[in-house]
Chains A and B, each alone.
Chain A
Amino acid sequence: MAEKREPVLVVLQLSGGNDYLNTVIPYANSLYWENRPAVSIPEDQIIPIDQALGFHPSMEALKPFYDAGDVAVMHGVGYANSPRSHFRSMDIWHTCEPDTVGTEGWLGRALRDIDPNKENVVTGVSFGPSMYRAMALPGVPVACVSGDLETYGMLPGIEGQRRQKVLERFKNAYAPAIGLGAVMDYMGQTGLDSMSGADILKEAPQRYQSSVTYPDSKVARKLRGVAQVHTADLGTRIFYLDHGSFDTHASQTGEHAKLWREVSEGVGAFFTDLREHAAADNVVMLIFTEFGRRVHDNGSGTDHGAGGVAFAIGGAVQGGMYGEYPSLKAEALTQGDLMPNQDFRGVYTTLLEDWLELDAPSIVGGTFESPAFIAKA
């Protein structure tokens, strides 16, 4: 029997506030149609899940995964007193601090617990121009790939053979030396770490081969980067990426459909790719957004809301529905928004305890009811 491989978590953040009502659509509820005179999905296009709910037509590529029992749908996820601000809300998701302004990311804490001695500089890898606060914890190294994996590294503007020489000089100049002082020493070590992280990650695309063609979208390129690093077996345990903007105040119908097509097809290609490499079983993906959107549309889009929907995808996931769809009745709404009825920290708890096998309360700041969407081995 093959050695049990370490569990890997991929977090895909849908930035801007994804419209829950048009993602998992309560099409049998007349209140949906009443509240969405302009921004609804025609009933004949909805992909039915059951008698009450259906997926957005752009999620076609994910439907087979759902049917195979690999997708958990988490209803009404959020927290009390949603601030409806992108930043504040995203910060709360990132830090698990709904009352104060927190600085430590939940995944930063997870990385610290996974690799307390910082033995691997690529235990955490994020794809984006800067570190996501979710991954941030002072002293915890995270490799931030800002562009393509292929060009990731120091001084990418210098090309060809000259680059190798310049990088040699960089390494020599950063090498430990006597009498430079603590800050110079620290900077020297950091520069060398940073280069070796880049060197390690740059190997990944070279080792990678696949018959899977990813669609042409930003999120698909990032997911392909995740697949490249993951299949290279570099010991990366947490990946982070985002896609957006889901902030569809205007002309939502076309934009939201495009975004979900990109996400669904990208994620579909990603898992197909991992399966081809026999590297899918130890990967679980979390897809979340900072908040759902207003129940009633504004004539062409929807404004900031509260309760949203999250997904977990992977072979280890126990597919199905978790939690209740919040009521659309006027008296059940909070300022016109769906009332969250499932705490996001419970979703994190499941991922931390049942998947990454870490101590969740110290990471999410307490004990929360956790949906059992990870299949017990």
Chain B
Amino acid sequence: MLTTVIAGRVYDFSHTVGRNAAAGDGFSYPCAIAPASPGMLYVVSRGNETNYGSRLTKVFVGAPGEEKVLAEFCRYGSNPGQALWPNSVALDKQGRVYVSDDWLNRIAVFDPDGNFIEQWGTAGSGPGEFDGPAGLAFDADDQLYVVDSRNHRVQVYTADGKYVSGWGSHGRGPDQLDTPWGIHIDAHGAVYVADWKNGRVQKRDRNGQVLMQFGQAGDGPRDLNHPTGVAVDTDGDVYVTDWGNHKLRIYRADGDLITSLIGDAQWLSKWGQQSIDANPDMAKMRRRVKSLEPEWRFYYPTAVAFDAERDLIIVADCQRGRLQIYKKDRNYAVPQANL
């Protein structure tokens, strides 16, 4: 369903942006998103070794059909300003763009237009060292939280890369982590970590004290399977990409599951339509398919972001090379049920 009305909230599917592309108008395994004002997104494409389409795309996303690539940077490579396994992106107060490299164990910094500024980080397991830096988030004091995934911890740095503190250890216990991935910091400074292999999202205070957890691992319909991304909206609702179950989970702040979205891309994106227009055989085969429904759905959704200016929920639909965008509609008049 395109519109989900539940628990006093309305999630209305807006549109899809992107297509599978190694460069230019599209994404290649998009795995992280950072919204920027006005109407801009930075999107990390993880890419692959067939066409090396990894990169950061700065894209303007307006109303449906109004999307435009403004810059592409941080392409495949190990030189300064490049990345081998770009994982996540976050913006500091000045709008500078921070990108984690899961393989090269470093953070690269770019100006808002994608010009390379600096990089920092060394491999290792000591304080301030990385083994697989993944999710990134800034707090209100412009401190950068880095998920240090294969060290199973979160480390805090100043914006210029000085180590401040860190917490987390490897294991399944309530205050431990196993190969965490995404991270988000809410308006009150609470930290949410997608504890990937443990199948849950932890909420901690800024010092790392566990406050609560969202979801749990398991095979049940409400359980999480390798969650990857997390975001919190202006009402305190929590969004989690349930990667292995191909769902977006939405929780109340108290941890109660409100609903799950599964992807509703019933119309082609603008760039997707261009591909079809250029390939008559593809267009023909689409008309012969019994159902296009599988195309609507998320396939390994990896990241979620909330655009507070426009109340948009933006999901990086990794395997499909696109973003799916929903609006949290606050002015929805519910029609009569007996129509």
Name A residues whose Cβ lies closer than 8 Å to a Cβ of B. 84, 245, 247, 249-251, 255, 294, 296-303, 335-336
Contact = CB atoms under 8 A, between A and B. Distances in A.
B51 A298 contact: no
20 contacts: A245-B51, A249-B21, A249-B22, A250-B21, A250-B26, A250-B53, A251-B21, A251-B22, A297-B278, A298-B274, A298-B275, A299-B24, A300-B21, A300-B23, A300-B24, A300-B25, A303-B278, A303-B279, A336-B279, A336-B280
Interface string B51-63: 1010000000000
A334 to B, nearest CB: 10
Interface string B273-305: 011011111000000000000000000000000
Nearest to B283: A336
B281 A299 contact: no
Nearest to A247: B51
B271 interface: yes
Contact of B275 (A84, A247, A299, A335): A299
Contacts of A250: 21-26, 53
A287 B278 CA distance: 27
A249 B25 CA distance: 11
A303 B275 contact: yes
B4 to A, nearest CB: 32
Contact of B23 (A251, A294, A296): A251
A294 B274 CA distance: 13
A335 B282 CA distance: 9
Contacts of B53: 250
A311 to B, nearest CB: 26
Secondary structure of the A contact surface, majority rule: loop
Interface residues of B, number: 16
Contacts of B26: 250, 300
B24 A336 contact: no
Contacts, number: 50
Considering residues A251, A255, A303, which has the most beta carbons from chain B within 10 angstroms of its beta carbon?
A251
A302 B24 CA distance: 12
Closest 10 CB pairs of A and B: A251-B23, A299-B274, A300-B24, A298-B278, A250-B21, A251-B24, A250-B23, A336-B280, A250-B24, A335-B281
A299 B25 contact: yes
Most-contacted residue by chain B among A249, A255, A302, A336 (CB, 10 A): A249
Contacts of A300: 21, 23-26
A294 B278 contact: yes
Contacts of A301: 21, 24
A331 to B, nearest CB: 13
Contacts of B275: 298-299, 303
A330 to B, nearest CB: 10
Contacts of B280: 335-336
Contact of B278 (A247, A255, A336): A336
A255 B53 CA distance: 13
A183 to B, nearest CB: 36
Given A251-B22, A336-B280, 17 more contacts: A247-B51, A250-B21, A250-B22, A250-B24, A250-B25, A250-B53, A294-B278, A296-B277, A296-B278, A297-B278, A298-B274, A298-B278, A299-B271, A299-B275, A300-B25, A303-B275, A303-B279
Contacts of B271: 299
Contact of A336 (B21, B25, B274, B281): B281
Nearest to A245: B51
Nearest to A84: B281
Nearest to A293: B278
A247 B53 CA distance: 13
B286 to A, nearest CB: 14
B23 to A, nearest CB: 4
A255 B280 CA distance: 25
A267 to B, nearest CB: 25
A250 B75 CA distance: 15
B45 to A, nearest CB: 11
Contacts of A255: 23
Contacts of B21: 249-251, 300-301
A298 B277 CA distance: 7
A301 to B, nearest CB: 7
A298 B279 contact: yes
A106 to B, nearest CB: 27
Contacts of B22: 249-251
A342 B261 CA distance: 53
A66 B51 CA distance: 33
A300 B275 CA distance: 9
Contacts of A297: 278
B72 to A, nearest CB: 8
B23 A299 contact: no
Which among B25, B278, B279 has the greatest number of chain A C-beta atoms within 10 A? B278
A299 B19 CA distance: 11
A249 B26 CA distance: 11
A296 B271 CA distance: 14
Contacts of A296: 277-278
A108 to B, nearest CB: 28
A336 B277 CA distance: 10
B18 to A, nearest CB: 11
Residue of A255, A296, A301 most packed against chain B (CB within 10 A) = A301
A309 to B, nearest CB: 20
Nearest to B21: A250
A294 B277 CA distance: 11
Nearest to A300: B24
Contacts of B274: 298-299
A294 B26 CA distance: 19
B283 to A, nearest CB: 9
A255 B281 CA distance: 25
B270 to A, nearest CB: 9
A255 B22 CA distance: 11
B12 to A, nearest CB: 28
A251 B75 CA distance: 14
A171 B238 CA distance: 68
A303 B281 CA distance: 11
B268 to A, nearest CB: 12
A301 B26 CA distance: 11
Contacts of A298: 274-275, 277-279
Interface string B117-134: 000000000000000000
